[in-house]
Amino acid sequence: MREKGHAKEEETEAEDSEEEVPKGPGDGDPVQPIPRIIAVSAGHEHSLFLDTHGRVYACGNGRNGKLGLGDAYDRHVPVRIRGLPRISAISAGGQHSMVLSRKGGVFAFGQGNDGQLGIGDSQSYYRPVCVMDEPPIVAVSAGAKHSLCLDSSGCVYAFGCGASGRLGLGDVQNHAWPESISSTCWMDTTGCINEARAIPRFSAISAGLEHSLLLDSVGRVFSMGNQASGKLGLGDEAHRFLPAQVMGLPKAFLVSAGHHHSMVLARGVDVDYYHRQYMEAAMRLVNEEQRRFARWQDEYDETEPEPSLRTT
């Protein structure tokens, strides 16, 4: 991991020339002809595109430098981001963006007020800066105000806004440097949340608005952060400051964290079976709420004093 987040322009340009990235249009020029795009990512009012040569293009709202073009101007057509090596993955977040080089290096740009750029400060950067290049990273995900990185050994690094525990680091503090997630949590029968030191090997990550999803190598899904609206899928309303396994799911291979909901993709799922499971669980919940209301009404009737009769 780099000690400093600033990527020297000479280093990125040298790596660019070393891998013989084909020349393209300059900053501010429309893309002509249109390259072959292999990946896209939509953030908050901006978009990123990745072509077959590993070049990245950006368009949309340029506030805080999230387009990586050196200024805060909006772009109505895709413009190539200069100073990057060949890129293999892109992720557009709230007010920042992340890209991953083919050699496993992470670059970020845009707003950094919560540390979501992972370079140790809270400044905004209008050009790509190197976040980390060791160990080699295989996936990145930019959330609203936080970021996740996954290395080749299955370790997850988190940084940025830590509100509601979305970083999975066991606290609600902001972290301006990448820190590895080192434990998970589980809830016992009394409703107490306990820490588990065992950490699985993860294979996929997704950063949402105020929560995050992780997928391990055997298809188990873990969630952390804000539980409002049930987006963690844990069956309660408690936030999680450490990753917690989402129970009752089949073996998954893809996760996606949105603003107020989450989605998981699995193979060979019996839709009718899970629909029945859902309906049975919903009916149990309704029945429990009805019983709870009936008990409350009985207790209220017992404690309510009878009205006294007044004589005039």
Mean pLDDT of 212-232: 96
Global pTM reads 0.80
Residue 300 CB partners (closer than 8 Å, separation 6+): none
Q: What percent of the chain has pLDDT over 90?
A: 67
Predicted local distance difference test score (pLDDT) of residue 171? 96
Average pLDDT, the chain: 87
Predicted local distance difference test score (pLDDT) of residue 13? 43
Q: 120-155, pLDDT tens digit by residue? A: 999 999 999 999 999 999 999 999 999 999 999 999
Are the beta carbons of 149 and 139 closer than 8 angstroms? yes
Mean pLDDT of 115-123: 97
Residue 194 has pLDDT above 90, yes or no: no
- Point out the least confidently predicted range of 128-132, 196-200, 255-259: 196-200
